[in-house]
Chains A and B, each alone.
Chain A
Amino acid sequence: MAREMTGAEMVLQALADQGVTDVFGYPGGAVLPIYDEIFQQEKVSHVLVRHEQGAVHAAEGYARSTGKVGVVLVTSGPGATNAVTGLTDALMDSIPIVCITGQVPTHLIGNDAFQECDTVGITRPCTKHNYLVRDVEDLARVLHEAFYVAANGRPGPVVVDIPKDVQFATGTYNGTPNVRHKTYRPKLKGDQAAIRETVELLANARKPIIYSGGGVINSGPSASRLLRDLVKATGYPITSTLMGLGAYPASGDKWLGMLGMHGTYEANMAMHDCDVMLCVGARFDDRITGRLDAFSPNSKKIHIDIDASSINKNVHVDIPIIGDCAHVLEDMVRIWKARSVQPDKAAMEAWWGQIAEWRKRESLSYKSNDDVIMPQYAIERLYQLTRDRDVYISTEVGQHQMWAAQHFHFEEPNRWMTSGGLGTMGYGLPAAIGIQRAHPDALVIDIAGEASILMNMQEMSTAVQHRLPVKIFILNNEYMGMVRQWQQLLHGNRLSESYMESLPDFVKLAEAYGAVGLRTEKPSELDDAIKEMISVDRPVIFDCRVNKLANCYPMIPSGKAHNEMLLGDEPEVEEVSEAGKILV
């Protein structure tokens, strides 16, 4: 229905028409007309963050835990530049975000006006797409298109930059949330011949593996269901990337654990030795493959991805299937059930026998300790004491993140929010805020490191203001642990600038924010403290003092292959090659 209204009104109208109920943002001169509209309506509520990076991560947490598009509103200049890390994070992890930025009025663009920056120029490489809207008559279309582009195909962040005069100008709103885009129409269904060929290859495999990723989560709950169906129908082992945890339940008997740099021995060995690899919605990134020329040398590879540019980027595959995971898996399960060839029973027994041998290696085990809390133990207890609850986990970046991935187990998709592609310290707290906003009654925990948490600590204020009772569970080792581990393994244990000097007292800090602070140092007190944390109906900072020098294993050192993992109980002084040292 066409109606006359101002640009600022259009923004709120378009958000409402898109079904948006929550926006994460921070005001400023160039978005005041939009904030004025926010004040005068009730459909869309606004969460005031304390830094624009936090707004984007919060929107990411919201998006990832709901499958909806996350919405951000920031001002021009510093507001927009502060959002850049979050946008890049969302791009790397394929998270649908619409970020509305204010801009100086059109007649001042290019004049170095106060708080002017070239937002579309700066964000072009860190968004899926972006727009500068110079005419109010284009605004409604662009806003709806932004949602369409963010959510369809491989999801990602979209920026809509709106000059202040356009927000004031009056134009026609003809809002049709259903966009038929001129050029961008991603293909959902996979090529049937390729799917049939895949089923053939899978049925004749002797050492098959399914390797799934974040694409399955992004595709929606039905993709996870179909993935489970496929695993059940084939009986084949499955592993997943960091981004894909939860698509297949960790309690499933076909589950090998996560793969990659800190993946399990059985997952990585199975990837290395397999003869047929089915990659579903993952992208063969360097954390997964290890040394490329030694990556799974004897396998035929099938790759399902909605983004054609992910195919054959790092690893050559034999059968590419471009399409949405759910659509392709649906066809694959159907064709699998109708096939004539049966998998070779003896071969399957031998393969599962081999996997059982690898599992015996117990690559996630660690030396327990009665006096000091081992970080792995802390995660284990956290998992055990929360597993029956409606729990969502976010993380910061570092060792604690990898320990969380290894020792906290996920049964469902959309429960695990971590910065995988960009590895952004400071992601977890604002993400938790976004998650809690979407799931007010759930238990939302940010598994944090003491270094990372300080990067967006100001968002505690946001949590307190909006009564979002997030729990920040800090594995406090007083080090940038992951940096220290690399310095130990690669740089002669010269711990350059990785000690966290002058840490705040996290309990007092929590109290200063009006939240609750808890601290534990003894393994014997851990359970009670965790229970207390859960029972508090307010934001909590939990300072869990852990072993300071524990390393995260298993680990595939840079430049090494899957079958050259370092395991925790082996001597650590392994020479890393010069070629390996230059890798990150």
Chain B
Amino acid sequence: MKKSEDSESHTISVLVDNEPGVLARVIGLFSGRGYNIDSLTVTETEHEAHLSRITVVTAATPMVIEQIKAQLARLVPVHSVIDLTVSGPSIERELALIKVGGKGERRVETLRLADAFRARVIDATTESFVFEITGRTNKIDQFISLMEPLGLVEVARTGVAAITRGPGGLTPE
């Protein structure tokens, strides 16, 4: 997907009925209409009420962002759609597991940087570490790029979870 000049990144949370196929509907909407998905997370958030929360990070022109929100809102099992990027202050976090190999001096440098980023060692061998790091997407990106020359082996990321600040919440209408 080509990104045009005035493309901006938005984090959109969608509260859906947790019924079979609902994720396919959302993903199909994005692929079918040619929208970007930069990150996508989904899990049941309220078991009793059968609600799931889908968080999508997408990049598009303002007009297309409005389209995406309207298209999401008209899916039958969707309760509500909120654009966290414009709805006021919000917090975004992502978790990543990062495996870095290497021996000798490089391991010291790796640990020093991990410490600076508050990445925790959750597995270690004499020639590798697995770090757990949480933070905003760009913090994780930055950490990964620093690890690359030091022996980055692989990365697993959860995608973005996001929520508004303050007492208000995303509720079914």
- Which residues of A does B touch, CB under 8 Å? 120-121, 124-125, 128-130, 132, 149, 153-154, 181-185, 307-309, 311-313, 316
Q: How far is the CA of A128 from the CA of B78 in the complex (A)?
A: 13
In contact, A125 and B20 (Cβ under 8 angstroms): no
Q: Whole-angstrom distance from the CB of A525 to the nearest CB of chain B? A: 51
Q: Whole-angstrom distance from the CB of B83 to the nearest CB of chain A? A: 14
In contact, A124 and B25 (Cβ under 8 angstroms): yes
Q: Which one, A120, A130, A309, A316, contacts B74 given CB within 8 A? A: A309
> What B residues does A125 contact at CB under 8 A?
28, 32
In contact, A312 and B21 (Cβ under 8 angstroms): no
In contact, A308 and B77 (Cβ under 8 angstroms): no
In contact, A183 and B79 (Cβ under 8 angstroms): yes
Q: Whole-angstrom distance from the CB of B125 to the nearest CB of chain A? A: 40
In contact, A312 and B74 (Cβ under 8 angstroms): no
Interface positions, chain B 64-95, Cβ under 8 Å from A, are: 66-67, 70-71, 73-74, 76-79
Q: How far is the CA of A569 from the CA of B130 in the complex (A)?
A: 76
In contact, A124 and B66 (Cβ under 8 angstroms): no
In contact, B74 and A183 (Cβ under 8 angstroms): no
In contact, A312 and B20 (Cβ under 8 angstroms): no
The closest CB in chain B to the CB of A316 belongs to B63
In contact, A149 and B32 (Cβ under 8 angstroms): no
Q: Whole-angstrom distance from the CB of B87 to the nearest CB of chain A? A: 17
The closest CB in chain A to the CB of B70 belongs to A309
In contact, B28 and A124 (Cβ under 8 angstroms): yes
With A124-B21, A132-B20 already in contact, the answer to whether A308 and B76 are too (CB < 8 A) is: no
With A124-B25, A182-B17 already in contact, the answer to whether A313 and B76 are too (CB < 8 A) is: no
Q: Which one, A124, A154, A309, A316, contacts B24 given CB within 8 A? A: A124
Q: How far is the CA of A348 from the CA of B90 in the complex (A)?
A: 52
In contact, A308 and B70 (Cβ under 8 angstroms): yes
Q: How far is the CA of A121 from the CA of B23 in the complex (A)?
A: 12
Q: Which one, A184, A307, A316, contacts B76 given CB within 8 A? A: A184
In contact, B73 and A121 (Cβ under 8 angstroms): no
With A183-B76, A183-B172 already in contact, the answer to whether A312 and B66 are too (CB < 8 A) is: yes
In contact, B63 and A312 (Cβ under 8 angstroms): yes
> What B residues does A129 contact at CB under 8 A?
76
> What A residues does B66 contact at CB under 8 A?
312
> What B residues does A311 contact at CB under 8 A?
70
> What A residues does B74 contact at CB under 8 A?
153-154, 307-309
> What B residues does A309 contact at CB under 8 A?
67, 70-71, 73-74
Q: How far is the CA of A466 from the CA of B14 in the complex (A)?
A: 49
> What B residues does A124 contact at CB under 8 A?
21, 24-25, 28
Write 5 A-B pairs (CB below 8 A) sorted by A numbering.
Answer: A121-B24, A125-B28, A129-B76, A182-B79, A309-B74
Q: Whole-angstrom distance from the CB of A156 to the nearest CB of chain B? A: 10
> What B residues does A182 contact at CB under 8 A?
17, 79, 172
Q: Flag B161-173 by CB within 8 Å of A: 1 or 0 each.
A: 0000000000011
Q: Whole-angstrom distance from the CB of A122 to the nearest CB of chain B? A: 11
The closest CB in chain A to the CB of B73 belongs to A308
The closest CB in chain A to the CB of B74 belongs to A309
Q: How far is the CA of A545 from the CA of B17 in the complex (A)?
A: 57
> What B residues does A185 contact at CB under 8 A?
173
In contact, B67 and A312 (Cβ under 8 angstroms): yes
Q: How far is the CA of A120 from the CA of B172 in the complex (A)?
A: 25
Q: Whole-angstrom distance from the CB of A276 to the nearest CB of chain B? A: 22
Kindly name the residue among B70, B79, B173 whose own CB sees the greatest number of chain A CB atoms within 10 A.
B70
Interface positions, chain B 16-49, Cβ under 8 Å from A, are: 17, 20-21, 24-25, 28, 32
Q: How far is the CA of A124 from the CA of B25 in the complex (A)?
A: 7
The closest CB in chain A to the CB of B78 belongs to A183
Q: Whole-angstrom distance from the CB of A518 to the nearest CB of chain B? A: 45
Q: How far is the CA of A153 from the CA of B78 in the complex (A)?
A: 15
> What A residues does B63 contact at CB under 8 A?
312, 316
The closest CB in chain A to the CB of B31 belongs to A125
The closest CB in chain A to the CB of B72 belongs to A309
In contact, B77 and A183 (Cβ under 8 angstroms): yes
Given A183-B77, A308-B70, A309-B70, 20 further pairs, Cβ under 8 A: A124-B21, A124-B25, A125-B28, A128-B76, A129-B76, A132-B21, A149-B76, A153-B74, A182-B79, A183-B76, A183-B78, A183-B172, A183-B173, A307-B74, A309-B67, A309-B73, A309-B74, A312-B66, A312-B67, A313-B67
Q: How far is the CA of A311 from the CA of B76 in the complex (A)?
A: 18
Q: How far is the CA of A184 from the CA of B19 in the complex (A)?
A: 14
The closest CB in chain A to the CB of B50 belongs to A182
Q: How far is the CA of A149 from the CA of B79 in the complex (A)?
A: 15
Q: How far is the CA of A311 from the CA of B73 in the complex (A)?
A: 13
> What B residues does A181 contact at CB under 8 A?
76
Kindly name the residue among A120, A128, A185, A313 whose own CB sees the greatest number of chain B CB atoms within 10 A.
A313
